[in-house]
Amino acid sequence: MQTSDWNHRELTLWLAVQRAPEKLKRELREFWQTSGEFEIPAQIEKQLPELPRGLVERTYQWLHSDRKHFLLHCLDSEFPEALKEIYRAPILLFGIGDKTLLQYPLLAVIGSRKASPLALSLTEQMVVELCQQGWGIVSGMALGIDGLAHRTALAQGMPTIAVLGCGIDLVYPPRNRQLRNDIAAAGIVLSEYAPGTPAKTEHFPARNRIISGISLGVLVAEATLKSGSLITARYAVEQGREVFAIPGPVPHPGSEGCHLLIQQGAKLVTRSEDILAELPAQADLFAADKAIESRKAKPAEIAFKHEEPNKISNSGLTSGIAGKNSTKIPLNVLANERLLANVGFETTSFDWLLSQSEDSVSVVVNQLISLELDGWIKTVPGGYVRVRR
């Protein structure tokens, strides 16, 4: 449905359906399924609740205030098919951006708001490679892993979808206002909540079912046992989606959620190939020239692979994906190999590195700078962490 097709009566009707009790929604879905008629029968319309004052006008004004604003109901042909099939599927989807991207192959990437440097590094690496294989990224626009996943997809020139737990016209968290604007310009900001709906605690678990519902799989990068990411993973299982989890250090609280998911059957992944092996190849679904034209990206920015997976290089990345400017240097010819061997994937202090070296402070500092410039390590609070390239 085009934005211009919505009028006050249709908005009133569908906003009322959205706010109807679940029992009435269930009757309506059963009517659609058994009758094959895609309308709202009069006997159900009479039972719909009254709407809050000003809601229809506020929604109408928002919808027509920008050509990138759109509203889809669950019978619309542009409503994502995968989302129609989930339990308690949303009745309405409010969106900002290019709604055709809802038909793109999508993978959800979620995790801790206070992610560790290791989790952030691995997430960025995997998202880059997944985007280069033709996948769009879905997340919740939260701080930490969510925000990184969105930004990385944008940097790769690939679609990213942010699903909100508040009204489509609001920004939560406020710190991500610029990110929200960037996603709206190149991807989609999505919500089932009408304009003016504040962020509430109960909205976010409900939001999570949409994140998993529009995706073919869910990657949990880091999560505590009380993380909302585990709710999303649970929804994914119920919806028949693939669930992937990145393991982490045993003592770290942020690893406990991922380890629990792995114990419960999620696939342990340490690189993008582990994910791609479980998901359908996208090369046959989306031709490279179509994707490049639609995203206005340079040909080198999107690499759809028709051949067999590339061999794995010494540093763990697929050599064919890395790009022209990231030639791998074998460890056995690396000048700073001994120092690099002492930098772990957890934070390693400078004092420890110095104690393991026979060189002076200035030499060790110069070696660390060299390793960081070459992309082997990264400076973090408290020291350094190894970066798998």
Q: pLDDT tens-digit profile of 8-18?
A: 999 999 999 99
Is 0.95 topped by the overall pTM? no
Q: DSSP character for 3?
A: G
Q: What is the DSSP string of 126-180?
A: HHHHHHHTT-EEEE---TTHHHHHHHHHHHTT--EEEE-SS-TTS-SSGGGHHHH
Q: What are the boundaries of each domain within the chain?
A: 1-64, 100-301, 331-386
Return the closest-CA partner of residue 11 out of 44, 48, 42, 66.
48
Phi and psi at residue 364, to the nearest 5°: -65, -45
pLDDT at residue 121 in the model: 93
How many residues are present in the chain?
389
Q: pLDDT tens-digit profile of 323-357?
A: 333 333 333 334 577 788 888 777 888 878 888 88
Q: DSSP character for 198?
A: P
pLDDT at residue 388 in the model: 60
Phi and psi at residue 382, to the nearest 5°: 95, -5
**Element of type H or E holding 106:** strand 106-110
Question: Is-contact 140 171, C-beta < 8 A?
Answer: no
Both tokens assigned to 149: 């996943």
Fold of 331-386: Arc Repressor Mutant, subunit A (1.10.10)
pLDDT at residue 371 in the model: 83
pLDDT at residue 279 in the model: 83
pLDDT at residue 274 in the model: 93
pLDDT at residue 339 in the model: 84
pLDDT at residue 343 in the model: 84
Residues of the chain under the 70 pLDDT cut: 1-4, 280-335, 388-389
d(CA 149, CA 322): 18
The CATH code of domain 100-301 reads 3.40.50.450
pLDDT at residue 383 in the model: 82
